[in-house]
Chain A
Amino acid sequence: MHQFVRLIVILLALGCLGACAARPAAPAAPARGAPVVLAGGSAPELPAVAARKARLEAALTAPPYILLAAHTSDDWLTAAQAAAVADPRVRAATRAPDGRPLRAEVMALGPASAGDVPPSLERACAAQRCARVQIYVHPTNTTVTALVAADGTVLGVDALADAQPEIPADLADLAVQIALADPQVAAAFEGLTPDAAMATMSATKTALETTSCERSRHLCVAPVFRWGNSALWTIVDLSEFRLVGAAWTDQGVSGRRIWSEATLQDAALASLCETPVVLERAGWRLSYLLTSSDGLELRDLRFQGRPVLVSAKVVDWHVGYAGRDDERVGFSDAIGCPVFSAAAVIPYAPPQIAEAPGGGFTLELTFRSPHWPQPCNYQYVTRAHFGPDGTMRFLAINEGRGCGVEGIYHPVLRLELPPGADLSDQNGARLTQEGQTIWRPGAPHVLQARTADGLLALAPRWDEAEHAYVYWTRPAPGEGQGDLPSIGSCCALDARQGPERFINGESLDGGAVVWFVPRISNAERQRCWADTALEGGALRPRVWPCGAGMEITSRTGPAGDGENGFAQAPHSSPGQGRGESGFPHTPAHGRVWESAAIPGEEVTPWRPSNDVRPLSARGAHSASVAPASASA
């Protein structure tokens, strides 16, 4: 309600732009306690948005399957538009390979200016008027420009990938409406009283800047609300009709474009890499922090005041594939902070906290490669479920797509037990020294930990896992209490997953760390997979997730000798569909994208010259010329 009131204030205030021009000049800029905010992700329920969506949907139902420019008073331009959208080259650029139409709309229609006409067409456009028809194809982020002669001849068609056109006035208006309708923008004006807002908005000017949504590759613009020397930048996604985020800047008057989708997202998450966030909910208390390369770390977990875990995190994702000559190849993917980190896969949005079906809540964070769900790009989710009964599930989830159909994932989960915890196996036998074992679905595997405050049981959550390597080690600073670099082999199919290197005969009298490394094989369009599907003219990711993890149950009071105090651990088998990761879903964003080069490195081509001596005279080389691996 509070936010709604603020929103009304802003709408009234901005509506006052003209009428209030005689009011006093602006005082100090608004308070900026949170200089960067990310929006929630859904389109506002605005009549203008609904109307635009309806027009786009209608355009996809009948030829030419392109949303045409609204109105033009010049018949020859209308005819030119019709000729352009009927051109086979334009049709090809606005269709999927199977012929289905992609969402496309005419963004500009008008007489071609001299600068629009390439030299090869100058003569043709000198003899008669030429029209320029510019079409934006949303799913491919491509701008198609057609030059059409007054007689209806399509003189040329140019499709420029990853290029976005100027937008028409009605879309610009819509962008401003979307920005103002979002509660995040209203919240950004926090600190102004209603009176002050209304009085000072006469000093506010709105401009539409260009910006980039370089991660989603959507059509985005930036309505900027300038306020003296400050400016509120908002980025609006006109492919999804939603606000991406907003930020205050002191450089608003300079016009420098320092904000984009990526910089907003990174800035919004950066503080989570520095300062843990404390979460108290449903009897649980914990903090969470984004690490450099160990993903989202949950710390000091307590239920009703009793310690449950010191730390829970996923330190690595090992991804292996079958290579040539029985070799295995792959990656050790580190997940972590989006800025200043050793992470290869980063989050684009803050952790999500939600009510869980059946009670309790979930905390999860998604990490994504830049071109997911393309091949060799990955999406990982760390999810924790906190039950109202003191049960906590910690899951490592993969959402594809991988580099092939024979991928094997080994997420490395690290769970540090409360200090002094006595560890024992499912039979109650104490584990006094570091060790390891393998667990398989169907057996009653469980580890038990006796603490000063009660008992803990750690059981596997198999979901899609085939088996798991389990290790127990003594806590140590260099063994994961801080950020842990990649450990183990990316591609080993046995227990050489990294934690084994910490097993060196030490006793567990100082507590214990349990490492759980499930093995999960991917399967095309079944598990650990992602693909794109054309829906309503837009390409959307489709996900077949996979995952596994551990369930930690806490129980108060001491247990008697030989009594473990817990029911049998679940005997589930993998792939039963009961897991929390086993249901395909379609995230809101993602785009097919093709490229080859790896930035950060370079190529220096040359042709050899003749002024050098042969190498054999020096005998310097022992290596041989070998076939290169597949191109990057």
Chain B
Amino acid sequence: MRQAAGANPAPAALAATGACARQPPFAQELTASLPGPLALATDRPMRGLALVSLDGSGRSYQHQSWDDGGFMGAMTFDEAGNIYLAPTPRQSLADNPPSGATTLWRVDGRTGVMRPFATLPGAASERNPFGVLGLSYACDLGLLFAGTVIGSTPSVERGGVVALSTDGQIRATPVDGLDAMGVTVVRADRRYLLLAGLARRPAIVGVPLDARGHAAGPPVEIIDLTAGGATASERARKLRFANGELSVDLVSFNYTLQVNASGTAPLRRAIWRYDPHTRHWTVARQAEQQAGP
């Protein structure tokens, strides 16, 4: 992987590509029994996905299919309100056996039913029970991007970023052999830039994409997360780009269940701002702890 010499390979101004993502229609009926604001969450005590009320009542809703895939982690929406989810083991492999780690799930935005969506190539194992650690839907491309660490070992990185169409077919693998977590795609005029948080280092790489989601160049490191206050053990697990700012959720990750199992780790977030004139990313806000759910 090349190192950026302080500059970003992307041209000029950047824009988000996920603005079309829509909230799932099926949830509308639930508003009567679950007073808003509501949230879809995978970080609650119950397995899988839950629709929770944030009004302090502690009330929640879970469709009977939402725990079929064990504990879930990354989540994103498409323009139809479909929800894409990736399994993430929490306390033990009893609920998330390695055989299920490579399967992505989709909750139908109309019916609320969750079913397997796609199974990615490769296999998880007890030494690396993780599969997909980041999801992001790029509306402009109509593609779901998944950051993976599937099959990686201490000495070999087999993860990367794959792009799937909404029929579950893999359309491109813009990053290969580089373990990735959080991902997002930004637009620069008619070109696209994939941003991927690395799973082994506190860094974010950028990969230019063509209109079909294929890499148009090699990964280039564009952000050193430690400059924004990340510790050496923290990684970018969730990336959100809006209004010229990249919000980065940080998590300690060492390919074990330790952090997820403890249930008490903080969510820390740092923000970088993209300057279209200098084409540099600068720290807009140092990493700081966010309020829990």
Chain A complexes with chain B: yes
| Chain A interface (Cβ < 8 Å from any Cβ of B) | 161-162, 211-212, 214, 256-260, 262-263, 266, 270, 273-274, 292-293, 331-334, 336-346, 369-371, 374, 376-377, 483, 485-486, 593-616, 618, 620-632
* Bound CA span A626–B74, Å: 24
Q: List residues of chain A with CB within 8 A of the CB of B93.
A: 293, 334, 342, 485-486
A-B contacts, 14 of them at CB < 8 A, read: A259-B232, A293-B126, A331-B91, A340-B154, A346-B256, A369-B261, A370-B262, A593-B264, A599-B251, A606-B37, A614-B28, A623-B63, A625-B33, A632-B263
Would you give the shortest CB distance from A254 to chain B, in whole angstroms? 9
Which residues does chain B contribute within 8 Å of A594, judged by CB atoms?
A: 264
Q: B258 and A369: CB pair below 8 A?
A: yes
Number of A-B residue pairs having CB atoms within 8 Å of each other in the complex = 287
B278 close to A (CB within 8 Å):
no
Tell me which residues across on chain B come within 8 A of A376, comparing CB atoms: 262-264
B23 close to A262 (CB less than 8 A): no
Contacts of B31 in A (CB 8 A): 608
Binds A, one of B43-51, B167-175, B187-195, B208-216: B43-51
- By the criterion CB–CB under 8 Å, are B265 and A598 in contact? yes
Contacts of B289 in A (CB 8 A): 161-162, 595
B256 touches A342 (CB 8 A): yes
B124 to A, closest residue via Cβ: A342
Contact at B45–A629, with CB atoms within 8 Å?
yes
B140 neighbours in A (Cβ, 8 Å): none
CB-based contact B59/A628 at 8 Å: yes
B106 CB within 8 Å of chain A:
no
B255 within 8 A of A: yes
The chain B residue with its CB closest to the CB of A370 is B262
Q: Which residues of A contact B61 (CB under 8 A)?
A: 623-626
Q: State how many angstroms separate the Cβ of B178 from the closest Cβ of chain A.
A: 16
User: Knowing A214-B231, A599-B260 touch, does A615 contact B28 (C-beta < 8 A)?
Assistant: yes
Q: Is the CB of B232 within 8 A of A344?
A: no
7 new A-B contacts at CB < 8 Å, known A258-B232, A370-B265, A632-B292: A256-B226, A341-B257, A343-B257, A486-B93, A600-B251, A602-B41, A606-B39
Alpha-carbon distance between A161 and B291 when the two chains are bound, in angstroms: 13
Whether A274 and B154, one on each chain, are in contact in the complex, defined by CB atoms closer than 8 angstroms, is yes
A262 to B41 CA separation, bound complex (whole angstroms): 29
Contact present for B257 and A605 (CB under 8 Å): no
User: Which residue of chain B lies nearest to A294 when distances are taken between CB atoms in the complex?
Assistant: B126
Q: Complex: how many Å from CA A293 to CA B202? A: 26
| CB-contact partner of A607 in B37, B251, B252, B262, under 8 A | B37
- Which residues of chain B from 57 to 94 have any CB-CB distance to chain A below 8 Å in the complex? 58-64, 71-75, 77, 88-94
Q: Provide the residues of chain B in CB contact with A598, threshold 8 Å.
A: 43, 90, 260, 262-265
With CB as the reference atom, state the residue of chain A lying closest to B58. Answer: A628
A249 to B175, CA, bound (A): 26
Looking at chain B's contact residues, the main secondary structure is loop
CA distance A401 to B265 in the complex (A): 17
Tell me the minimal C-beta distance from A614 to chain B in angstroms.
5
- Say whether A623 contacts B60, CB under 8 Å: no
* Cβ 8 A contact of A628, one of B50, B72, B77, B251: B50
> Which of B30, B43, B254, B293 is in CB contact (< 8 Å) with A615?
B30
B285 close to A (CB within 8 Å) = no
B-chain residues with CB within 8 Å of residue A161 when the two chains form the complex:
289
B29 touches A341 (CB 8 A): no
Q: Which residues of B contact A613 (CB under 8 A)?
A: 25, 28
Smallest distance from the beta carbon of A148 to chain B beta carbons, Å? Answer: 24
Contacting pair A627 B58 (CB below 8 A): yes
Q: How far is the CA of A293 from the CA of B110 in the complex (A)?
A: 41
Given A370-B258, A623-B63: A604 touches B75 (CB 8 Å cut-off): yes
Residues of chain A contacted by B74 (CB below 8 angstroms): 601-602
For B36, B202, B293, which residue has the most chain A Cβ atoms within 10 angstroms? Answer: B293
Q: Is B249 an interface residue (CB 8 A)?
A: yes
Bound complex: CA of A612 vs CA of B29, how far in Å?
9
Contacts of A485 in B (CB 8 A): 92-94, 97, 126
Query: Cβ of B260 and Cβ of A342 under 8 Å apart?
Result: no
CB of A163 to closest CB in B, whole Å: 8
Contact with B224, one of A256, A331, A623, A629 (Cβ below 8 angstroms) = A256
Least CB distance from B85 to A in Å reads 10
- By a beta-carbon cutoff of 8 Å, the part of chain B in contact with chain A is 23, 25-31, 33-34, 36-46, 50, 52, 54, 58-64, 71-75, 77, 88-94, 97, 110-113, 126-129, 133, 153-154, 201-202, 224, 226, 231-233, 237-238, 249, 251-267, 289-293
Query: A605, B37: Cβ atoms under 8 Å?
Result: yes
Q: Report how far A344 CA is from B257 CA in the complex, Å.
A: 5
Minimal Cβ-Cβ distance residue in A for B258? A346
Which residues on the A side are within 8 Å of B72 (C-beta)? 601
CB distance A597 to B293 under 8 Å?
A: yes
Most buried by A among B29, B60, B63: B29
Chain A, interface SS category: loop
Q: Which residues of A contact B267 (CB under 8 A)?
A: 597, 599
Decide: B254 and A262 in contact? CB cutoff 8 A. Answer: yes
| Nearest 5 pairs of A and B residues by beta carbon | A596-B292, A615-B29, A344-B261, A601-B43, A612-B25
Report B-chain residues with C-beta under 8 Å of the C-beta of A266.
233, 254
Most buried by B among A274, A369, A628: A628
B255 touches A597 (CB 8 A): no
**A604-B38 Cα distance, complex, nearest whole Å:** 9
Q: Would you give the shortest CB distance from B239 to chain A, in whole angstroms?
A: 11
Task: Please determine whether B262 and A369 come into contact, CB atoms closer than 8 angstroms.
Answer: yes
Q: Is the CB of A606 within 8 A of B91?
A: no
* Most chain B CB inside 10 Å of its own CB: which residue of A338, A603, A621, A630: A603
Q: Given A340-B154, A599-B237, A629-B45, are A263 and B25 also a contact pair (CB < 8 Å)?
A: no
Which of B73, B77, B92 contacts A334, CB < 8 Å?
Answer: B92
Bound-complex Cα distance A486 to B93 (A): 7
Neighbouring B residues of A625 by C-beta, 8 Å:
30, 33-34, 59-61
Q: Is there an interface contact between B112 and A600, defined as CB atoms closer than 8 Å?
A: no
Chain B contacts for A371, CB-based, 8 A: 262, 264-265
Do the beta carbons of A486 and B94 come within 8 Å of each other? yes
Contact B293 A596, beta carbon cutoff 8 Å? yes
Q: Given that A293-B126, A485-B126 are contacting pairs, would A263 and B232 also be in contact in the complex, using a CB cutoff of 8 Å? A: yes
Determine which of A270, A293, A602 lies in contact with B238 in the assembled complex, contact meaning CB atoms within 8 Å: A602
B255 lies within 8 A of A339 (CB): yes
Alpha-carbon separation in the docked complex, A20 to B50 (Å)? 67
**B154 near A212: Cβ-Cβ < 8 Å:** no
Q: Are B92 and A214 in contact (CB under 8 A)?
A: no
Query: A597-B293, A604-B39, A628-B50 are known contacts. Are A341 and B27 too (CB-CB below 8 A)?
Result: no
Per the bound structure, the CA–CA distance linking A625 and B153 in Å amounts to 42
A334-B257 contact in complex given A262-B252, A595-B266, A618-B110, C-beta closer than 8 Å: yes
Set of chain B residues within 8 Å of A615, measured between Cβ atoms = 26, 28-30, 112
| B254 near A483: Cβ-Cβ < 8 Å | no
Instruction: Please determine whether A344 and B92 come into contact, CB atoms closer than 8 angstroms.
Output: yes
Complex alpha-carbon distance, A292 and B238, angstroms: 27
Which residues from chain A contact B94 at a C-beta distance below 8 Å? 332, 485-486
Contact of A597 among B36, B43, B256, B261 (CB under 8 A): B43
A residues less than 8 Å from B27 (CB atoms): 608, 612
Give the complex CA separation of A584 and B255 in angstroms. 33
Question: In the bound complex, do residue B40 and residue A603 qualify as a contact, i.e. CB atoms below 8 Å apart?
Answer: yes
How far, in Å, is A606 (CB) from chain B's closest CB? Answer: 5
Cα separation A370 to B166 with both chains bound (whole Å): 39
Contact (Cβ within 8 A) A602 B42:
yes
Nearest-CB residue, chain A, relative to B94? A486
Q: Are B113 and A620 in contact (CB under 8 A)?
A: yes
Q: Chain A: which residue is nearest B33 at the CB level?
A: A625
Q: A341-B126, A600-B251 are in contact. Are A374 and B260 (CB under 8 A)?
A: no
Q: How far apart sit A614 and B97, CA to CA, in the bound complex (Å)?
A: 36
Question: Using Cβ atoms and an 8 Å threshold, which residues of chain B touch A599?
Answer: 237, 249, 251-252, 259-260, 265-267
- Asked if A214 and B256 make an inter-chain contact with CB atoms under 8 angstroms apart, the answer reads no
Q: Chain A's nearest CB lies how many Å from the CB of B145?
A: 15
